[in-house]
Chain A
Amino acid sequence: MPKCKINGQEVEVAAGSTIIQAYKAAGIDICHYCWHPGLSVAGVCRLCMVQIEGMPKLQIACNTEVKEGMVINNTSEVVKDTVKWGLDFHLINHPLDCPICDQAGECGLQDQYMQFGKYDPEMAEAKVKKHKVVDLGPTVVLDAERCILCSRCVRFTEEVSKTNELGIFNRGDRSEIGTVEGKPLDNNYSLNTVDICPVGALTSRDFRFRQRVWYLKEADSVCPGCSTGCSVKVHYNEEGLWRVKPRENKEVNGYWMCDTGRDTYKFVNLKARLLSGRIGKRDQWQEISAEDATRSAGLKLRETVQKHGPDSVALVVTGQYTNEEYKDLLKFFTGELKSKNVYHWLNNPEKMKDFDGLLFRGDRNPNTMGLSAALAAHGVSSKWETLQSQLSGRKLKMVVVAGPENQATFPDMKEKIQMLSQADGLIWLTAGLNADLNQVGSETWQVPLKAYVEKAGSFTNFEGRVQPFKAGTTIVPQALTLSEAVELLAGRDLNWALRPKGLGGPKTNYAVTQRGTL
């Protein structure tokens, strides 16, 4: 374990680590572009210069190992001057079009330029023009002029996704990132190149120009896209979620996440959500508050159990809720209603074990493990076929469904809704809108639930790792967590004062909304 001194601070690092890793471990800022903790060392940007006592010239921190007793600094005038001129070189052909660049606000070049930059460039030659708005693939757009050729994206496709789509073409100041003809950047991890791009050269087609990043707030969460459960950051404002990005977690996802997981913000936003409770059946819906809808469903459910016995009701659960919610739900159903008719709704049983070798798994539910464990703990071992026979035999009076939050992962929604609506009454707890659900013929209660960013809880991933997460923002103010819905179904009261208030869209100005009535 070599010890060294960084900017006057004693730091002990693991043997074989580089100086830049020591800087990161000590939490001291160091300027860099091409180095990324998840990729190999390239040493091309020449900005992580440090001064080491006893060495005549400056060294790059990313490719120099820490040796016992090294005295290092990156605050001396020599280092600052070197970084300044290094930046001037990087900016020779950079268009400096920050106003229309999506990276502005989270751009390394912008930050470091403000810290070290030379405000009057001394380049007399005209800037080299390169390709702009190049489609590298279905998800990524390239602006070659903004690229500083750090080669992070090239190394990513080479080392992490192992698809080798990207390369650097041409020589000298005409070098450009590009793809070979007929082989676009089209893999399930392509958007990671956008995350690691330190400038605005690679932008995501989905997020491009939608929002300025300084208007967005961040919240930590766990991706509900599959059973891997990557650590993610969600970016949101008062209108809803705008994008999902990976968060460093060495145990689970490293620094990456898949493109499929990045779509998990879409089903959370207002357009896709059930906003209030609904009671009725085909074409005769009555909108009431979530609380009232759940209470009325609870009355009917408990009445049915009293009249026809606990076997006349059934519960269907999907693997998209938190461990805590499963506990409350199963306690209510098996303990209070004393029904053993609890069924695990699997969306893709034949693909459950699929794995692409990096992160993405065939089990598209975040908490299948948690649900299985909760079912086992409550002694439930019923088979899906039993439910089918019970339904076709018209034995069930009421079915409670904790439906999928991410409906895109359930390709057979329509058939399953038709099948479940064979029961006389259907209580459908769900976050999302569903057109097929509005067409069912039996008496139905639709209760809006919260999506994953709106509640706290924990998911158990494929390897049994319990990953807790906090609530980020509230998008549908009325929506209940499954635990709250269970409390209301059981006829108990909630402490409404404790519930978070919704953002409810952009602020409305009385003077504006009342206009035209003067």
Chain B
Amino acid sequence: MSSLVKRPSGVASWYLPGILGGLVFTMKKMLTNLFNQKQMPTLNYPEQKYEYGPRFKGNHVLTVKKDGSIRCTACMLCATNCPAQCIKITAAESEDPSVEKYPISYEIDVLRCVYCGFCEEACPVDAIRMGPEWQTAALNGSKFTYDIQQLAYRAQLKGGVVSVLDDQERHKAGI
């Protein structure tokens, strides 16, 4: 039975011109980059980091009120809107009658999250935002379920991001 694969002709098996061409190309690029480093398209990653725009959708941030408590009212609109179903909230009744409902647990499974930002869009009280962080490596998968501690009070947030929507101010304005 003859093979269906067509054997290359003798000319194509002359590999030396191809290799030499490749070496010339690499040499050219190396020299241009050496003498013109500013226009180099790559970054030295761990030392240099790329700055994304302000609309970048990175890791979630739960905002806090002025007193530092969590802003979320556990209305579950983010969980309802989430196409990846990665948000799990357990609501509870707060001692403070002006707060009434708050989350005792708020978990995002970031390995399921598709970073679409629908949660941020659904939130009526600016309690969840997509932050600028994107370097989230961990040693194993169990580290990727973020809880309130991680989402609202992680060290990078320096005590928490304050929500723009304040209930006390709204009530004072008579709304």
- Chain A residues engaging chain B, CB cutoff 8 angstroms: 98-100, 104, 125-127, 129, 132-133, 208-210, 212, 214-215, 509, 511-512, 514-518
Interface size on B, residues (CB 8 A): 27
Knowing A100-B101, A509-B112, A511-B111 touch, does A209 contact B92 (C-beta < 8 A)?
Answer: yes
**A99 close to B124 (CB less than 8 A):** yes
Q: Which of A125, A208, A212, A514 has a CB less than 8 Å from the CB of B93?
A: A208
Chain B residues positioned under 8 Å from A516 (CB to CB): 140-142
**A512 close to B109 (CB less than 8 A):** yes
**B97 close to A132 (CB less than 8 A):** yes
Chain A nearest CB from B124 CB (Å) reads 5
Interface centre among A209, A509, A516 (most CB of B within 10 A): A209
Chain A residues positioned under 8 Å from B93 (CB to CB): 208-209
Check B64 for interface membership: any CB of A closer than 8 A.
no
**A100 close to B140 (CB less than 8 A):** no
**A125 close to B75 (CB less than 8 A):** no
Q: Which of B117-146 contact A (CB under 8 A)?
A: 124-125, 140-142, 144-145
Chain A nearest CB from B134 CB (Å) reads 20
Chain B residues positioned under 8 Å from A125 (CB to CB): 174
Q: Which of B47-99 contact A (CB under 8 A)?
A: 73-77, 80, 91-93, 97-98
Assembled-state Cα–Cα distance A152/B82 (Å): 37
Chain B residues positioned under 8 Å from A210 (CB to CB): 91
**B101 close to A126 (CB less than 8 A):** no
Chain B residues positioned under 8 Å from A100 (CB to CB): 73-75, 100-101
Chain B nearest CB from A141 CB (Å) reads 9
Given contacts A515-B140, A517-B140, 16 further A-B contacts (CB under 8 A): A99-B125, A100-B73, A100-B100, A125-B174, A126-B173, A126-B174, A127-B174, A127-B175, A132-B97, A209-B74, A209-B101, A212-B76, A512-B111, A512-B145, A518-B140, A518-B141
**B141 close to A515 (CB less than 8 A):** yes
Chain B residues positioned under 8 Å from A511 (CB to CB): 111-112, 141
Give 17 pairs: A residue, B residue, CB < 8 Å, sorted on A.
Answer: A99-B77, A99-B125, A100-B73, A127-B174, A132-B98, A132-B100, A209-B74, A209-B92, A209-B93, A210-B91, A212-B75, A212-B80, A512-B109, A512-B111, A515-B142, A516-B141, A516-B142
Chain A nearest CB from B170 CB (Å) reads 10
Nearest-neighbor residue (CB-CB) of A208 within chain B? B93
Chain B residues positioned under 8 Å from A509 (CB to CB): 109, 112
Knowing A214-B80, A512-B109 touch, does A99 contact B174 (C-beta < 8 A)?
Answer: no
Chain A residues positioned under 8 Å from B75 (CB to CB): 98-100, 104, 212
Chain A residues positioned under 8 Å from B97 (CB to CB): 132-133
Q: Which of A126, A133, A212, A514 has a CB less than 8 Å from the CB of B100?
A: A133
Chain B nearest CB from A314 CB (Å) reads 47
Assembled-state Cα–Cα distance A518/B76 (Å): 32
Chain A residues positioned under 8 Å from B142 (CB to CB): 515-516
Assembled-state Cα–Cα distance A100/B98 (Å): 11
Nearest-neighbor residue (CB-CB) of B97 within chain A? A133
Assembled-state Cα–Cα distance A114/B137 (Å): 45
Assembled-state Cα–Cα distance A104/B76 (Å): 11
Chain B residues positioned under 8 Å from A214 (CB to CB): 80
Assembled-state Cα–Cα distance A516/B112 (Å): 16
Please list the 7 inter-chain residue pairs (A to B) with the smallest Cβ-Cβ separation, ordered nearest first. Answer: A126-B174, A99-B75, A515-B141, A516-B142, A100-B101, A515-B142, A133-B97
Interface centre among B77, B100, B171 (most CB of A within 10 A): B100
Nearest-neighbor residue (CB-CB) of A214 within chain B? B80
Chain B residues positioned under 8 Å from A512 (CB to CB): 109, 111-112, 141, 145
Assembled-state Cα–Cα distance A514/B101 (Å): 33
**A99 close to B73 (CB less than 8 A):** yes
Assembled-state Cα–Cα distance A475/B152 (Å): 36
Chain A nearest CB from B137 CB (Å) reads 12
Nearest-neighbor residue (CB-CB) of B125 within chain A? A99
Chain B nearest CB from A325 CB (Å) reads 37
Chain A residues positioned under 8 Å from B125 (CB to CB): 99
Nearest-neighbor residue (CB-CB) of A96 within chain B? B175
Assembled-state Cα–Cα distance A268/B50 (Å): 55
Assembled-state Cα–Cα distance A512/B97 (Å): 37
Chain B nearest CB from A11 CB (Å) reads 39
Assembled-state Cα–Cα distance A514/B144 (Å): 13
Chain B residues positioned under 8 Å from A104 (CB to CB): 75
Assembled-state Cα–Cα distance A517/B76 (Å): 31
Interface centre among A99, A212, A518 (most CB of B within 10 A): A99
Chain B residues positioned under 8 Å from A133 (CB to CB): 97, 100
Chain B residues positioned under 8 Å from A98 (CB to CB): 75
Assembled-state Cα–Cα distance A132/B101 (Å): 12
Chain A residues positioned under 8 Å from B141 (CB to CB): 511-512, 514-516, 518
Chain B nearest CB from A233 CB (Å) reads 22
Assembled-state Cα–Cα distance A208/B76 (Å): 14
Assembled-state Cα–Cα distance A152/B95 (Å): 29
Chain A residues positioned under 8 Å from B92 (CB to CB): 209
Assembled-state Cα–Cα distance A125/B174 (Å): 7
